[in-house]
Structure 1
């Protein structure tokens, strides 16, 4: 929410941002932690190290921006070792003048709304060889549950005949895959990956399973590994580069390897028998839990790796280093081109002239001065913008500025809004635009004198002159048809066909709405919400309800002519909740009873959205439709669909057609919705194929959301559905929004990704824009940029607030420009680059074969790293892989995107699940895409109940799990609690109330509320994780060696996946080969 701005207040500043701007952090070499989190890697017989110590990192200093990680050469010369090279630090430009000691007197809001590291050597751990892209054909995937379902199809006794395909059985062929033996070791791979889609896939959500299974996708969350052994600082060299000692020894080839990359693919060959394991060695762990013997380790395939996984860049290490270096001080935004802390670091933001990273994150904070350099590096230039992002309680929401009847002050030529980049001249009578350099007269009412530095004397009293983000009240000129908008409306449209009634959805939502309607969004918590509500139920026909306050009972009106939809009543359909409460409650009690005995199995869908749209048109207001729908709309009506699920098309050039809508009707309907400001949120409860690719067109074009609860069962899925519904109804939202991104001369916004509609090339139209939605913008050069002035971006969003007020929210961002590639590579943000790559790839599957999409991703990543190696790194052996410090995690994260279900599905991942995930990822912010692709995995046996801090996460690999431990994995869509077969009895007693592994119920979806400190702390952690995510994460308990463990292993993304996705180690070797080919 915005705080009103009172110009008359004296220039005293609220304490929220008193700190003067900090100088850019000096670049220092990170010191090594005193000891490692892991012992030496286990020998081949001990594939799973025990839990790791949770000691926090100890480097207090900021890391050097780029540093080499080098993998020394093994006896065979062609074996690729790795290293990261460091580039000399570049100058940081400070934007603006010195900051005043005080803070502006804006009135308070009503509502708050990469470090170098070396990695230790160790004996080669076991690992699964995996195929990499090159000429590799994906292995036939082992059948396994798709991670998107909530439970198995219910038994069909007593059900009316279903139309369409029967629900597929969960767990088809669920035996565990022979992971170890799949595919040849990577050393023998053939040609480069760019020429062929690599078979790297990994499911991103939960498959259908028994009733206890979570419905929605599960995704990976990022948490990096703890610091490793023997980390050495990098001594500065004379030439300004930091060269590091090789950080891991490559041993000679194992007996089974003929050499690195011999180029003899045996993809079709039967799985090779695992090599005999060497004699067991006892492994010491700096851990309170005794180290398990070989017999205690989870049975993982005994295979061989040439590279020690502890010796390659670790996400956990990077995350922990960033927390140590950047988590303690506030991040002040007054320095141009300063990269913010990672999304995994908790930090406070002080707005001093650039937008907070909570609103805008860039792929690079120092962009190339010209297009040739940008093309050479292949680093995408993009920004992920979340215009209405919620802020933590200790940060001030954007102030609301009123420039009076004439509206906000703007540049005459490019129409940019007044911001800190405007330069006042001629004593303050005119200002020069920072975007287009045009000079504009200052209106008399806005005139103010300048001080000796050329700044206005009221600069720090005006948010638009001193802050990166603020809001303007918009005048009637900014309103549709030059008319002040009506308050918006919410319309609930509920499917009452047979399935929706029988699975309990209808009764649950009607009961919930009785209380939920008291929590409609409002700007002032002390004032009643202005939002009006209406209700429709439907199957093959639509039922509208008159709930006018003066009625004793609600009245139903039925529209059976669905081919020509109209709203049969105006007065009494949209009402104020407090005035009509008695009638609304009576209606919500009656709906489940009215349809309890329905035998109607068919339903419509297109006319349902038409009905809501027509109601908003009749009321002349914007609003949101909450549609709860359960089946493929096969009834005769506009928008009727047929079942087109055809698994035979998967993997062919025609696969892209399955992601495209099967009829154009919904595209036209979406366009009409946007014109009216009608946003659609869709809650799906399917038991079989519903064609999410087509049903999702309207939600994804109007700024809406899709929620999916496959095989919905009230007992296990009610909590997730109700929490999603509550959050969706209550969250901050703007209506009838229009967003434009302006840039300074030299670059322009050329491409946009997200849930919106565009009728031209510049304006992003959103019928609804909520606090979770992001719009990702790609920029390209159209001229040269200057290092002196940098590049500017202004995002302006015009929207109607939930109280009906028209507003403009402005976010400004300035970044540096560079003429040296080293400066670009030193100031990139890998998490944002991966967010962009995922959205770009997921959109590309609409028009290109998936193999081509995967190949282009790998090729672009290889080009980025090859350009760095060629132009920025110190000379070194071709056998070393050299990664820029800021991008050393690019390969591991990119591999997670390639292995995701959209780009490399397992056999049991449905087309609907893939379409759902594809649409979901398009609007994720950087923190959610991070955890989606690289889940957060916490060892609970290390949880200190006396501390508020969490145990250090462990890497997403089965090797990191101890049979004696219990682990929590979250990926933004689900939470898993993995229980090792030898978990300590005391731990099990504290969590589950039973000391016996065999007595733990794998179907539980919530933990028992036990009266002990461990149980309380664990439940607090789970709730805090849920609060950080836009969707409610259902809890799944997974017992080791249980059939559900296959689902859990989908999210151990550093391992080879059952559907042919490469392990991190193998993919890194493959990337190295690609880079060497580009360089040669």
Structure 2
């Protein structure tokens, strides 16, 4: 709906007025918009529109604003294909016009970086990647750049000119002759000359050994605390329910099981029934049987695997051992995986207390929150272990449970450097059905992922540009290789680019290559090509800015600063970077007087201050001393690894009015199965009405707010209770399934949010009655980031020396304006 149309009438008699907030509808996801750019032709960038930030609410409709493709010179590509650029769902740059000099880049105060999401799930990614099956891989003999749409052919098309270094290379004779069909071939139809992102089937020289099968080693904590929590039964059910979903099309997948308390237990899965083998020597763990007895083919040994998992539910019920030897169990798992590589999936309740990698049960650093570092591991053992895993192509995923301190920062070190994921369940108990459902859904999502295996990723740049920093769950090898034993389907990586010398050409190129093995044993090379114009002026730099990629890059820098120094320094990097960018735009583009009065920003960056305030209010950067250290750590891990779509959702929640939805909201398209979402609103309590019902979600949690004056028909039709006094605050596994229209439509919306998430994390549902549980009410209101929170300053933002996480959006703008002058 455009702004000059009349608002749709509410579909239900639960509201006295239509939806408040902006009435511009938006696509289902930020990523959908990026997907739509894949086939767009290049066009002239329109004149920059300036926005005065002070005095108006943030333009949240711009969260879905289409980024105009950069204007490139004509005849730049080998073919006239409209798909020569890599789709931005895979690779995007913070600046779509690259400054010609380091001086210009520094003056803009904007970061130059690439956001990479190389292996997105097929169900989210609508940009198909062509597969080149003939194993003809042509590369520059000097710089090793892969042939791509931006090369030029010379000498009667017998040579191709490398767009990266300018060297002439021989064109493969196979380009013009199909060896398989024994007939003439049209080279101009080849995918690598027409598509910015392609998959090559790798020839034999790209393989150090035969492609590894998918191998999963499950490590379960069987200490007394783990038994008491009920974790084992729920985790085992999750594994059993996932066995048919583990990638195993060719029947090569293997599995093994290890349990750990005061000793390490292996399970022989050969013969008539499972056999337990206990090793009590933790100082030099060894395998009690041949690996072939312990790591078995899932298809062939399925009856034994099912039998073992069924027995596991009861066989440890009498365990009273309070000890746990996680480090030794992980070493055992690595030894099992050393010949092939594979994935360790660990379920841990108790802090490891004996053997290698034992940890203390309280945080060792007693400094204040602001003076402490983020993600500080309390033991060096796990980083050393992660390095050993990377050499063996072993990845680890951690499911961490705990009632008190779980040291997530230390246990995450293994996923951090091996390409894995960490899932944290504070205060987990099997008595809580919400916890159980979340665990089982996340186990299913993780095990059913068709991950990439034994991978390396490298980014090449035009002369004058270098890769200087790398962010994400990987191990970086000098100078510019990212090693990934495991490439999850939905993780993001960031490569910061440096300018070593002035750029002499009018365009620059970035090529990223991911060498990986598919789950079905095929070695492939996925190549992403991006070409951007070179900017000579500051206005060109700003008009080509991607505020979402910029916010993501600054977030990475802030986390890195907070991890290597202290939280205070990470927070300062965020607010100073934002103020510096505002000052640079005001001085260099808009004129300083305009910037000082209304904090003017170009349309392309008008939401950057909002996103940076949102980051300061996340549990990662929040200055509140009451946030548990493990909770702060887990949100930090999400900010580091989530794909861009889910990252945006976590930073800026979606906020909807349910009582006044337009008629089409909550309706599922029978052909596409997409659900039409309600109108998104600004994140402020000004939108809350006493009789209203609202939904706010950030990809991790879904909150449904019921106003204290909600009418009985709404309570009955949505929650199956007669009036507001009967509404109970708290977590629920799902809403009641009722025949009312609003019940069916809200259920469809929640189902859409849960099934269309592009991460393995499963959002929980909480009902929040306005005058109910104060903790839930406070949690809901904390997501309304445009409001001043209780910890925020009572005076104007301009009077503050440091940024406060409790500032309102308008206080934050006042603070930025004072710092940008």
1:628 is aligned to 2:347: yes
Alignment: residue pair count: 761
Matches within 5 A, 1:845-994: 845-873=562-590, 876-877=593-594, 878-947=596-665, 948=667, 949-994=676-721
1:318 is aligned to 2:62: yes
How far apart in 1 are the matches of 2:363 and 2:337? 34
> Any conservation in 2 of the 1:754–1:922 contact (CA below 8 Å)?
yes
Paired residue for 2:303? 582
Q: Shift of the alpha carbon at 1:734? A: 0.8
SS at match of 2:156: helix
- Bigger helix share: 2
> What do the CA deviations read for 1:346-389 (whole angstroms, capped 9, x no partner)?
xxxx9711111211122111111111100100111111101101
SS at match of 1:649: coil
Paired residue for 1:840? 557
* TM-score normalised by structure 1 residue count: 0.67
How far apart in 2 are the matches of 1:849 and 1:813? 36
Q: Shift of the alpha carbon at 1:875? A: 7.3
Paired residue for 2:155? 426
SS at match of 1:1055: coil
Paired residue for 2:104? 373
Q: Shift of the alpha carbon at 1:444? A: 2.5
Matches within 5 A, 1:546-557: 546-548=268-270, 551-557=271-277
CA pair 1058-539 structure 1, distance change in 2 beyond 3 A:
farther
CA pair 955-56 structure 1, distance change in 2 beyond 3 A:
closer
CA pair 394-1032 structure 1, distance change in 2 beyond 3 A:
closer
* Superposed CA RMSD: 3.0
> Any conservation in 1 of the 2:219–2:344 contact (CA below 8 Å)?
yes
Q: Shift of the alpha carbon at 1:50? A: 7.5
How far apart in 2 are the matches of 1:994 and 1:677? 54
Q: Shift of the alpha carbon at 1:787? A: 5.9
> What do the CA deviations read for 1:449-472 (whole angstroms, capped 9, x no partner)?
9xxxxxx99355211110011111
Choose between structure 1 and 2 for higher RCO, CA contacts under 8 A separated by at least 6 residues.
Answer: 1
SS at match of 2:641: coil
Q: Shift of the alpha carbon at 1:971? A: 0.6
Paired residue for 2:468? 750
> Any conservation in 2 of the 1:383–1:778 contact (CA below 8 Å)?
yes
1:607 is aligned to 2:333: no
CA pair 337-606 structure 1, distance change in 2 beyond 3 A:
farther
SS at match of 1:755: coil
- More moved, 898-907 vs 883-892: 898-907
Q: 1:825 aligns with which of 528, 532, 542?
A: 542
Q: Shift of the alpha carbon at 1:963? A: 1.2
- More moved, 993-1002 vs 1037-1046: 993-1002
> What do the CA deviations read for 1:780-835 (whole angstroms, capped 9, x no partner)?
112222563x1111110111111222211111111121101111111111111111
How far apart in 2 are the matches of 1:337 and 1:712? 58
Paired residue for 2:423? 707
How far apart in 2 are the matches of 1:395 and 1:900? 31
> Any conservation in 2 of the 1:493–1:535 contact (CA below 8 Å)?
yes
Contiguous gaps of at least 5 residues in structure 1: 1-29, 39-48, 61-91, 96-113, 116-239, 248-306, 339-349, 450-455
Paired residue for 1:474? 202
Matches within 5 A, 1:559-598: 559-569=279-289, 570-598=291-319
> Any conservation in 1 of the 2:395–2:415 contact (CA below 8 Å)?
yes
> What do the CA deviations read for 1:277-326 (whole angstroms, capped 9, x no partner)?
xxxxxxxxxxxxxxxxxxxxxxxxxxxxxx75xx24332x3246x3xx78
> Any conservation in 2 of the 1:945–1:1013 contact (CA below 8 Å)?
no
CA pair 631-703 structure 1, distance change in 2 beyond 3 A:
same
How far apart in 2 are the matches of 1:242 and 1:945? 34
Q: Shift of the alpha carbon at 1:694? A: 0.9
1:446 is aligned to 2:446: no
> What do the CA deviations read for 1:678-730 (whole angstroms, capped 9, x no partner)?
11000011111121111111111100000011111222311101110000000
Q: 1:493 aligns with which of 219, 224, 245?
A: 219
Q: Shift of the alpha carbon at 1:975? A: 0.7
SS at match of 1:942: coil
Q: 1:795 aligns with which of 495, 505, 512?
A: 512
> Any conservation in 2 of the 1:734–1:768 contact (CA below 8 Å)?
yes
> What do the CA deviations read for 1:406-427 (whole angstroms, capped 9, x no partner)?
x511000110111111211111
How far apart in 2 are the matches of 1:642 and 1:1008? 44
1:741 is aligned to 2:741: no
Q: Shift of the alpha carbon at 1:969? A: 0.8
CA pair 372-552 structure 1, distance change in 2 beyond 3 A:
same
1:664 is aligned to 2:380: yes
How far apart in 1 are the matches of 2:71 and 2:210? 39
How far apart in 1 are the matches of 2:567 and 2:73? 36
Paired residue for 2:407? 691
Matches within 5 A, 1:268-307: none
How far apart in 2 are the matches of 1:1048 and 1:845? 27
Q: 2:783 aligns with which of 1042, 1047, 1051?
A: 1051
Q: 1:682 aligns with which of 392, 398, 403?
A: 398
* TM-score normalised by structure 2 residue count: 0.87
1:999 is aligned to 2:715: no
Q: Shift of the alpha carbon at 1:837? A: 1.1
Contiguous gaps of at least 5 residues in structure 2: 10-15, 28-39, 75-80, 179-183, 668-675, 793-804
> Any conservation in 2 of the 1:479–1:485 contact (CA below 8 Å)?
yes
Matches within 5 A, 1:57-68: 57=24
Paired residue for 1:233? none
How far apart in 2 are the matches of 1:983 and 1:59? 28
> Any conservation in 2 of the 1:627–1:680 contact (CA below 8 Å)?
yes
How far apart in 1 are the matches of 2:390 and 2:316? 33
CA pair 517-883 structure 1, distance change in 2 beyond 3 A:
same
CA pair 486-631 structure 1, distance change in 2 beyond 3 A:
same
Matches within 5 A, 1:294-373: 311-315=56-60, 317-319=61-63, 322=65, 336=72, 352-373=83-104
